[in-house]
Amino acid sequence: MASFHVLIAGGGIGGLCLAQGLTKAGISCAVYESAPGIVTAGYRLHMNVLGGDALRECLPENLYELYLQTSRRTPEREMSVMIDTQGTEIWTRPHIGPPNEGDRPHTAVNRRTLRQILATGLDDVLHFGRTAVGYEADGDGVRLLFDDGSSVAGDVLVGADGIHSPIRSQLLPEVGVVDTGMRGMWSIAPLTDDLAAVMPRALFDGFAVVTRGDGTIFAIGVYDPRRPIADAVAELAPGAAIDHVEPYVMVTYGSDLGAAPAADMPDFAHDSPAELHRAIRRAMSGAHPGLVELVDRIDESTIAPSAIRYLEVADPWQPSRVTLLGDAIHAMPPSFGAGANSALRDAAALARALDDAVHGRRPLLEAIGDYEERMRAEVFPIMRASADPDAVHSDHVPDLTR
């Protein structure tokens, strides 16, 4: 398969990681992303062993080291913690996944920084402003179709184009998008020494949920990199287009999974950032002084609405030259911080499968079918558990055997 070429629809975290893995293996690929450049939206991402090991497998050594150095400092307790508004701990729960140990365990990253690391060195592979709308496939190859009427040909097409993937909609039209009804907002507050001094210590663990007991929650995550990003980039990837980011605290606020909305919930879709800031200040009124201070310091320019949706679990399908990874096949609520890690896991597994096929160790469809079967076995249980209403607001231990 000397001329083997992989088409990747979608330049998010999973698609970029796959491109890195294929490039490392010497397999030709191209990534087609609808946005005009690397998407910079979004803030902190929890990382676990599945995602971290996938990055180690797919990235060049210097970029993997850059990922580690720009990950957040190792917290005293790498676990989920729920507290009430006065800072009293209600429960703790280890993050799901294999043991996460060592001198520099996987912790959390800034989403934009990870995307930019993953895009480094892929200039000849990345094609922006190309919106995929579907495909044509037969036994000999596949053609990716774009909204401007153009197309490109390859041997395999990977849909890495998110929850509203047109590739999945054509391949598996029966899989629907579920709206949880959860509405909320994302924001960040700059992390300064004086703010850190007054925040409840539980907020510096792996991830914290603050419950108001009325169907709304705050989810809070610290991002304080192990090394200043600009310094790490200058040493490990000089000249790379990776933005410097100062430490911050990600603050989200909204309705809880499966809970009736509170009577005083703002209109996240239509209220201005200033109105949303006033609303979350009211929601935190009378709370622990450090929580009040944290909310007061939110940068209004970072406030953005969010709506939580996920995919129905797909029944097994026949393997073909078209396959899927990440949110395009298993978009899930953020209950366990597993979405990005699962996409990275997919990318590494699919790169291995395609490498087997290219080098004649397995027939192509057998390799793709094995990748898909293992994904269903390993990721779909997490997907189901993440949609369980108990996942966010109790010390619920998910059943990952289904």
* Domains, the chain, with CATH or none: 5-393 (3.50.50.60)
Say whether 138 sits in a helix, a strand or coil.
coil
**Closest residue by Cα to residue 54 from 343, 335, 374:** 343
pLDDT given for residue 40 in this prediction: 81
pLDDT given for residue 348 in this prediction: 98
d(CA 355, CA 57): 13
| Residue 335 one-letter amino acid | S
Say whether 303 sits in a helix, a strand or coil.
coil
Residues 6 or more apart in contact with residue 74 via CB below 8 angstroms: 104, 105, 107, 226
Give tens-digit pLDDT for 172-193. 999 999 998 888 899 999 999 9
Q: Is 213 left (phi over 0), alpha (psi -120 to 50) or beta?
A: left
Q: Model's pTM, two decimal places?
A: 0.94
DSSP H or E stretch at residue 178: strand 177-190
Give tens-digit pLDDT for 10-47. 999 999 999 999 999 999 999 999 999 998 877 899 99
pLDDT given for residue 394 in this prediction: 55
With a cut of 70, list the residues of the chain below it in pLDDT. Answer: 1-2, 257-264, 390-402
d(CA 324, CA 328): 6
pLDDT given for residue 39 in this prediction: 86
